[in-house]
């Protein structure tokens, strides 16, 4: 598929997944234990890369008297310009604290933080499919596959996976170590795959993710920091993108009120912004013309 066509598709569909950028209170910052983080290239990941498979349907009960919501089941209507419409947040998602569906074997409940980095092998490249192709700003050899521990909203540890630029693999592992020690909750941490790009936008995604070769929002040609593996989006639904009338994910408008103090939200000076700042990354929540509360990057884009 031509790069331009891929980027156009990604720019539309990923508005519900790892969206914009170029779906209680966080615990106090705690210093990681002396040796939980295994940074750098330490061989194969602790768990094998899973085969692509559709996630099971998740039905979220609504508050009393309100309907339930089935994640990913209702494509967004489109406006005259063909773009998905921004709609009110379903009542069932206004205080989103969903359990994590394990795609990789979780760590033991009492295990310390662990992470590993490995080059992109043939099997993983096949999984990534057209999310990377020749002409993207970084070659496959310049990317690394990370597996790391994280805490879910269910209060349990899980194993996540990200692809990032090799030059920032250590930094990303360190950041996730800080988040793990602080038990900052993430709903899911996984790769963007071709099936995600092909799906109709539903506006209710909440995937923490890194690399995908796509343009910045509003462009079909300017590559985002994600295209180089230099950016990570965390809990997009709790930390949406906002510019003018645009909101991404499109159903996450209830979380634009940043005076709220709900689990998974990122706030100035919290463990998330401090952990990224410590490795020299910047936060889209401080941007002027738009706010990208989910987005952190090493190059400021």
**Model pLDDT, residue 271:** 98
Q: Which residue has the higher pLDDT, 51 or 153?
A: 153
**Model pLDDT, residue 135:** 87
**Both structure tokens of 150:** 């994280």
Portion of the chain with pLDDT greater than 70, in percent: 78
Count CB atoms within 10 A of the CB of residue 155.
11
- Whole-prediction pTM value? 0.84
**Is the pLDDT score of 72 beyond 60?**
yes
Q: Tens of pLDDT along 214-271?
A: 655 554 555 678 899 999 999 999 999 999 999 999 999 999 999 999 999 999 999 9
With a CB cutoff of 8 Å and minimum separation 6, the contacts of 14 are 192, 196, 197, 212, 214
Instruction: Find, among 55, 188, 181, the residue nearest to 113 by Cα.
Output: 181
Cis peptide before 245 (omega within 30 of 0): no
**Model pLDDT, residue 60:** 97
Instruction: Find, among 145, 287, 294, 151, the residue nearest to 211 by Cα.
Output: 145
Q: Tens of pLDDT along 168-221?
A: 999 999 999 999 999 999 999 999 888 888 899 999 999 999 999 865 555 455
Contact by Cβ (8 Å): 149, 162? no
Q: Are strands 246-248 and 157-165 parallel, antiparallel or unpaired?
A: unpaired
Q: Tens of pLDDT along 2-37?
A: 433 333 334 433 444 444 454 332 233 233 333 333
Q: Are strands 291-292 and 231-233 parallel, antiparallel or unpaired?
A: unpaired
Distance CA 152, CA 246 (A): 28
**Model pLDDT, residue 16:** 41
Give strand pairing partners of 119.
144
For the residues of the chain, what is the DSSP string, one character each?
--HHHHHHHHHHHGGGSS------PPPPP-PPPSS----SB-SS-SSPPPPP-PPPP-EEPPSTTS--EETT-SPPPB-TTSPBPP-PPPGGGTT--PPP--SSPPPPTTPPP-EEEEE--HHHHHHHGGGS-TTSSS-GGGEEEEEEEEE-TTS-EEEEEEEEEGGGHHHHHHHHHHHHHHT-B-SEE----HHHHHSPP-S---EEB-----BPTT-SSSB-GGGGT-EEE--TTTS-EEETTEEESTT-GGGG-TT---TT---TTSHHHHHHHHTT-EEGGG-SS-EETTEEESS--
Instruction: Find, among 210, 216, 272, the residue nearest to 239 by Cα.
Output: 272
């Amino acid at each position: 598929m031509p790069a331009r066509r891929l980027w156009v598709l990604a720019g539309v569909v990923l508005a519900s997944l790892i969206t914009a950028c170029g779906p209680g209170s966080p615990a106090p910052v705690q210093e990681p234990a002396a040796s939980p983080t295994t940074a750098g290239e330490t061989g194969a990941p602790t768990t094998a890369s899973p085969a692509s498979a559709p996630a099971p349907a998740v039905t979220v009960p609504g508050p009393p008297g309100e309907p339930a919501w089935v994640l990913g089941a209702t494509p967004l209507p489109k406006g005259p310009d063909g773009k998905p419409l921004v709609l009110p947040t379903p009542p069932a998602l206004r205080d989103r604290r969903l359990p994590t569906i394990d795609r990789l074997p979780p760590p033991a409940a009492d295990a310390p933080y662990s992470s590993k980095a490995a080059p992109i092998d043939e099997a993983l490249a096949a999984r990534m499919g057209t999310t990377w192709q020749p002409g993207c700003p970084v070659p496959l050899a310049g990317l690394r596959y990370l597996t790391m521990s994280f805490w879910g909203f269910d209060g349990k540890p899980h194993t996540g996976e990200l692809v990032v630029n090799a030059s920032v693999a250590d930094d990303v592992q360190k950041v996730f170590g800080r988040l793990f020690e602080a038990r900052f909750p993430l709903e899911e941490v996984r790769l963007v795959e071709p099936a995600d790009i092909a799906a109709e936008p539903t506006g209710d995604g909440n995937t923490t993710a890194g690399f995908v070769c796509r343009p910045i929002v509003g462009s079909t040609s300017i590559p985002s920091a994600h295209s180089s593996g230099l950016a990570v989006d965390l809990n997009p639904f709790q930390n949406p993108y906002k510019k003018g009338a645009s909101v991404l994910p499109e159903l996450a408008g209830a979380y634009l009120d940043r005076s709220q103090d709900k689990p998974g939200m990122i706030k100035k000076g919290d463990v998330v912004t401090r952990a990224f700042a410590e490795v020299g990354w910047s936060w889209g929540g401080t941007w002027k013309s738009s706010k990208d509360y989910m987005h952190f990057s090493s190059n400021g884009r």
